[in-house]
Amino acid sequence: MTVLYNRVALIGLGLIASSMAHAMRWKGLAGEIVGTARSPETRAVALELGLCDRICATAAEAVAGADLVVLCVPVGAMAAIAAEIAPHLAQGATLTDVGSVKQAVIEAVAPHVPDGVHFVPGHPLAGTEHSGPRSGFATLFVNRWWLLTPLPGADPAVTQRLRGLLEGMGAHVDEMEPAHHDLVLAVTSHTPHLIAYTMVGVADHLRRVTKSEIIKYSAAGFRDFTRIAASDPTMWRDVFLTNREATLDILGRFTEELFVLQRAIRMGDGAQLFEYFTRTRAIRRGIIEAGQDTAAADFGRGAPAPEAGE
């Protein structure tokens, strides 16, 4: 148990921030945890749960005297929050964020960051389809990647200290160029989410024809899509609005591949389908071997969420 920051301010108190609060408590990584959220309802729930040591009514109040400030709001809300807190940030403080897109967050936040404050953008590759202050749990980041995209000229000691906190919560930390991050995430997360949203949309149209059959007989593949498509609409709207180019690039490639498979089905080309599915199966094995998912039936998601052990 090493206290890495004397006061951590969490701006926004949803899934990611509440998980950070639980994890920092669990591992004793922060002297004091201060939190704030936009709505009185969320602040009241955070108080009731004892998520933070102190809950403030405004972000400006929350960041005062903090040596680490974490922006945990949707990507589209980052600019306004950065403008609000900028005059209140302590000299020498580290400012980071957890936004799912990095270039747009840097464009939105960096211009507001005062001299003497270190901005180190970040993104935990961990989440669930749940949101809000009740959805967090201490083990969310265990064995998950947390990508940092430090800006040119960043102080390595500042990044190292932040790494210490993230690793203390159980994450593996890597550094990446922001544009590369956005492309990688377009492939691994953003486009798959869009495909899931679309498939559930298609089924919804069909449901009007088949009544409740789709729900009643929903099989593993579709159920997994519905889980992903239940993700927070605000967060995902902002992801697509701000990672536009990379997502459109990957969607273009996806559409081309889909046409290839569509043609193989039409032509009855079993060999091509078999070869394609054999190749994709190997990717799944690679993910399991890398410890990024479980081989359990239904991807282990039927199992209860791991307990924090606080």
Residue 171 is classified by DSSP as -
29 is an interface residue for ligand NAP by CB under 6 A: no
Of 189, 193, 159, the closest CA to residue 176 belongs to 159
Mark 125-134 as b/e (b = at least 16 C-beta within 10 Å): bbbbeebbbb
Site string for ligand NAP, 97-136 (x = CB under 6 A): -xxx----------------------xx--x---xx----
Token pair of 178, please? 């922001």
Q: Which one of 4, 5, 12, 66 is in contact with ligand NAP (CB under 6 A)?
A: 12
Helix (H, G, I), strand (E, B) or coil at 5: strand
Token pair of 102, please? 């990095």
The residue (of 129 and 257) whose beta carbon lies closer to ligand NAP is: 129
The residue (of 84 and 249) whose beta carbon lies closer to ligand NAP is: 84
60 is an interface residue for ligand NAP by CB under 6 A: no
171 is an interface residue for ligand NAP by CB under 6 A: no
Token pair of 15, please? 């899934």
The residue (of 197 and 214) whose beta carbon lies closer to ligand NAP is: 197
The residue (of 97 and 250) whose beta carbon lies closer to ligand NAP is: 97
Token pair of 211, please? 């009544």
Site string for ligand NAP, 31-50 (x = CB under 6 A): ------xxx--x--------
14 is an interface residue for ligand NAP by CB under 6 A: yes
**Contact set for ligand NAP, span 203-232 (CB under 6 A):** 232
235 is an interface residue for ligand NAP by CB under 6 A: yes
Measured in residues, the chain has a length of 310
- Least distance (Å) from ligand NAP to the CB of residue 208? 30
Token pair of 218, please? 């929903």
- Least distance (Å) from ligand NAP to the CB of residue 220? 21
Query: Which residues are CB-neighbours of 256 under 8 A, at least 6 positions away?
Result: none
First to last CA, the chain: 13
95 is an interface residue for ligand NAP by CB under 6 A: no
Q: Which one of 47, 60, 77, 187 is in contact with ligand NAP (CB under 6 A)?
A: 77
89 is an interface residue for ligand NAP by CB under 6 A: no
- 122 close to 146: Cβ distance less than 8 angstroms: yes
User: Based on C-alpha coordinates, what's the Rg of the chain?
Assistant: 21
Of 298, 296, 292, the closest CA to residue 227 belongs to 298
The residue (of 9 and 15) whose beta carbon lies closer to ligand NAP is: 15
Helix (H, G, I), strand (E, B) or coil at 208: helix
> Which chain residues interact with ligand NAP by CB under 6 A?
12-17, 37-39, 42, 72-75, 77, 81, 98-100, 123-124, 127, 131-132, 232, 235
